[in-house]
Homo-oligomer: A and B are copies of this chain.
Amino acid sequence: MENMITTKDLDLFYGAFQALKKINLEIPEHEITALIGPSGCGKSTFLKTLNRMNDLVAGVKITGEVLYRGQDIFAPEVDVTWLRKRIGMVFQKPNPFPMTIYDNIAYGPRLHGTHSKAELNDLVEKSLRGAALWDEVKDRLKKSALGLSGGQQQRMCIARALSVQPDVILMDEPTSALDPISTMKIEDLMSDLKEQYTVVIVTHNMQQAARISDKTAFFLLGEMIEFSDTERMFSMPRDKRTEDYITGRFG
């Protein structure tokens, strides 16, 4: 399998504080890669570096490389809006725009120049189907997205990310604000997603990483301690610190 994203000696500083230290990671295509680690270890920071959402933070300094399909994402010719279209993102708290469901999904395509009604309808349906939400909302597309349940909102956000036809979907603790039932639905959805997309997910929930991911990276204090097949990680981790963390012996 090809590597979708490769980072090389990635360092990231928030001002003087180094949040990421020499991260070398290869994220394979059509797999789910989970990032785990204790709070503050740099998971979210790493994730946000991949689609340059960290650009928004003042005082961030990045060295090293991030290659997306071999292209350095920090290269001057790369426009960040293009990058973010290719590498979508889903956040911890479901964040539907305060608009109708339809407009939420159509937001991205419109932004990128799709205005034909028919095309939009098509995209909206496709995206919602992709997020396993179509049947639940097809009769209320013109209702506010805020009226959906938390789990539905999160799936709608996934649909919204799909609407611009990305390659990669980054998810930062996408289920941590949801109840167990919604969580399970999203987890289930993810294994469908990986057939078409490459998924990178940050999760606090080790069981979740174990359940859904193909590869797992364990971060600690800004370092990537271990990166293995998930099965390997949760059965025979290479590093003592990984084992301590996943077995709850940490801290």
> Which residues in A have some Cβ–Cβ distance to B below 8 Å?
38-39, 179-181, 184-185, 204-207, 248, 250-251
Contact = CB atoms under 8 A, between A and B. Distances in A.
B248 A179 contact: no
Of A181, A184, A204, A207, the most chain B CB neighbours within 10 A belong to A181
Contacts of A205: 180
Contact of A206 (B39, B180, B185, B206): B180
A207 B207 contact: yes
A208 to B, nearest CB: 11
Contacts of A39: 179, 181
A21 B204 CA distance: 35
Contacts of A206: 180
A233 B251 CA distance: 31
Contact of A204 (B179, B184, B207): B179
A38 B181 contact: yes
What 6 pairs between A and B have smallest CB-CB spacing?
Answer: A39-B179, A181-B251, A184-B248, A179-B204, A38-B181, A180-B204
Contacts of A250: 181
A12 to B, nearest CB: 21
Nearest to A150: B39
16 contacts: A38-B179, A38-B180, A38-B181, A39-B179, A39-B181, A179-B204, A180-B204, A180-B205, A180-B206, A180-B248, A181-B248, A181-B250, A181-B251, A184-B248, A185-B251, A207-B207
Contacts of A184: 248
Contacts of A204: 179-180
Of A180, A184, A250, the most chain B CB neighbours within 10 A belong to A180
Given A181-B250, A184-B248, A185-B251, 13 more contacts: A38-B179, A38-B180, A38-B181, A39-B179, A39-B181, A179-B204, A180-B204, A180-B205, A180-B206, A180-B248, A181-B248, A181-B251, A207-B207
A251 B250 CA distance: 35
A220 to B, nearest CB: 12
A206 B183 CA distance: 13
Nearest to A184: B248
A154 B240 CA distance: 29
A207 B184 CA distance: 14
Contacts of A248: 180-181, 184
A182 to B, nearest CB: 8
